[in-house]
Chain A
Amino acid sequence: DGGITQSPKYLFRKEGQNVTLSCEQNLNHDAMYWYRQDPGQGLRLIYYSQIVNDFQKGDIAEGYSVSREKKESFPLTVTSAQKNPTAFYLCASSRADEVNEKLFFGSGTQLSVL
C-alpha cells in the first residue's frame, strides 16, 4: 500500500520542550510539505522541500525546523521558540512534475501544549 504516514497521531508538548513530528512516504515523491491547520482555518505552509537535502521556508516557518536527509522522510521539529504550537499538523507530498497540482496528505498529528 503506497501512502504517506504521520506519527504520532496525538502529541503533547511541555513548556520549553522541542518535539518532532514524523512524516514518511513510500510514493517515491520528490516534493514534501508541512502545513499547519488551526480550527476553522485553511492550511498554512510551514516548510517545503522539492528535493533531498534542500528545503525552503513557507509562510510561517518561525519556531519550526525540518530536515530532508532521505527522499522518503521529512520530519518537522516544533521548537520552544514556537509560542503557540497547538494545532493540527499535516504533511503532504507530490510528484516532481505535479508540484502544487495533486498533493497527497497524511492523516495528521494533533499537537497540544500541557
Chain B
Amino acid sequence: SQQGEEDPQALSIQEGENATMNCSYKTSINNLQWYRQNSGRGLVHLILIRSNEREKHSGRLRVTLDTSKKSSSLLITASRAADTASYFCATDARALTGFQKLVFGTGTRLLVSP
C-alpha cells in the first residue's frame, strides 16, 4: 500500500496566493521529501526534511513535519503560474538492515492561474 498520501488531490489558486498541500504516511521514517513534476516530465527534488526536524525553508517553500501525526505539509508562498505542476511526497521506512526504498504518494496537482 502507499506509504504517503497527498491531500488535496487537486488545488486551483490565483497567482500571488499561497498553496498548501499535505502528506500523510503510515510507518516511522528517516526522512520525508517533496518532489515536483511538470506535465510529461521527470521529477525534480525540492526539499528533504529529516525525522528530527520540524520545519525547513527553501526560498518560497516551507515544509513542516509532525512525526506524532505522521504528516507533513508543503507551503508555497506567493505562487506563480510557473509553479503549476504536480507535487509528490516521498518517504522511506526505517529498517534495521537492507535497502530502504522510497515510497511516493499519489500527488497533488496544483494549478496557478495568472
Interface residues of A (CB under 8 A from B): 4, 6, 35, 40-45, 48, 50, 56, 58-59, 88, 90, 92, 99-108, 110
Contacts and interface: CB of A to CB of B under 8 A. Distances in A.
Residue of A43, A99, A103 with highest tally of chain B CB at under 10 A: A43
Contact of A108 (B4, B35, B41): B41
B105 A50 contact: no
Contacts of B104: 35, 42-44
Interface SS, B side: strand
Contacts of B24: none
Contact of B42 (A41, A90, A99): A90
B100 A104 contact: no
Which range holds the interface residue count of chain B? 20 to 34
Contacts of B103: 42
A45 B41 CA distance: 17
A105 B99 contact: no
A110 B101 CA distance: 23
B35 to A, nearest CB: 8
A102 to B, nearest CB: 5
B43 A105 contact: yes
Contact of A107 (B41, B45, B48): B41
A105 B103 CA distance: 15
B44 A105 contact: yes
B42 A108 contact: yes
A42 to B, nearest CB: 4
Nearest first, the 4 A-B pairs at minimum CB distance are: A105-B42, A42-B104, A43-B104, A105-B43
B43 A100 contact: no
Contact of B101 (A58, A104, A107): A58
Contacts of B4: 42
